[in-house]
Amino acid sequence: MQIIENDIVKEKIYIEELDNKLKVIIIPKNTRKKYIVWSTKYGSIDNKFYSLNNNELVCVPDGIAHYLEHKLFEQENGKNSLDVLTSLGVDANAYTTNDHTAFLFECTENFDEALDEFMNYVQNPYFTEENVEKERGIIEQEIMMYKDYPEWELYMNTLKCMYKNNEINIDVAGSKESIALITPETLYTIYNNFYSPENMVMVLSRRFFA
């Protein structure tokens, strides 16, 4: 285990790599609030990669990282894990950036029950033609909503001017045209290539000692 200590704030960070290669970072805090974030190194810029199965080049539609983030909450039993976590009094969310996707929650109570649900939905994807299609309209509305924000349009146009030939100029949510190409098969391809313990990091902050 690696320990990093900051003498100024009087805090320590404990870093451990588990047997399955998942990196876990623990930050003890003397507070009632508990916080956890679990992220994978896959974001909007990763629209081309070599498959772990056969080393062939795979090209996927823009916006698929964000689409997958949305779909992981839906479970085979028909429940939405975000609703389950909310019912436990947990503030849960997720986000996608250019280079990573993260799932998180914070709470003061019911941490163990929330952690069980958290671990379950991130590790058990369930994609069907029906539930993937249902999400398409929701994400289309999100894309159109951001087009009404002048500051977002300015930001994206600035990126396109500065990085004409770099994937960083891709909108994290993709476009209406690109997300129309997303299927359950492409979502499983992304999940199987990037949502593995050796490509993920978990950070946990809570009270560990009495």
Tens digits of residue pLDDT in 83-125: 999 999 999 999 999 999 999 999 999 999 999 999 999 999 9
pLDDT at 206: 86
Nearest to 26 by CA among 178, 153, 207: 207
Percent of the chain clearing pLDDT 70 (strictly above): 99
- The pLDDT, as a whole number, for residue 10 is 85
pLDDT of residue 53: 86
The pLDDT, as a whole number, for residue 209 is 59
Determine the Cα–Cα distance for residues 185 and 181; give it in Å rounded to an integer: 11
Q: Domain coordinates of the chain in residue numbers? A: 2-206
Q: Which residues pair with 58 in a beta bridge?
A: 49
Per-chain mean pLDDT for the chain: 94
- The candidate with the shortest Cα–Cα distance to 71, out of 151, 192, 191, is 191
- What is the structure's pLDDT at 185? 97
1-50 pLDDT tens trace: 899 998 898 889 999 999 999 999 999 988 899 999 999 999 999 999 99
Identify the pLDDT of residue 180.
96
Query: Rounded CA gap, 179 and 173, in Å?
Result: 8
Contacts of 208 (CB under 8 A, 6+ apart): 26, 28
pLDDT at residue number 26: 95
* Domain 2-206 architecture: 2-Layer Sandwich (3.30)
d(CA 76, CA 59): 27
Rounded to two decimals, what is the model's pTM?
A: 0.91
The one catalytic residue in 5, 16, 56, 69 is: 69
Confidence (pLDDT) at 136:
94
Average pLDDT over residues 160-168: 90
Asked if residues 18 and 194 have their Cβ atoms less than 8 Å apart, the reply is no
Active site residue 69: yes
DSSP 51: -
The per-residue pLDDT for 92 is 96
| pLDDT at site 96 | 97
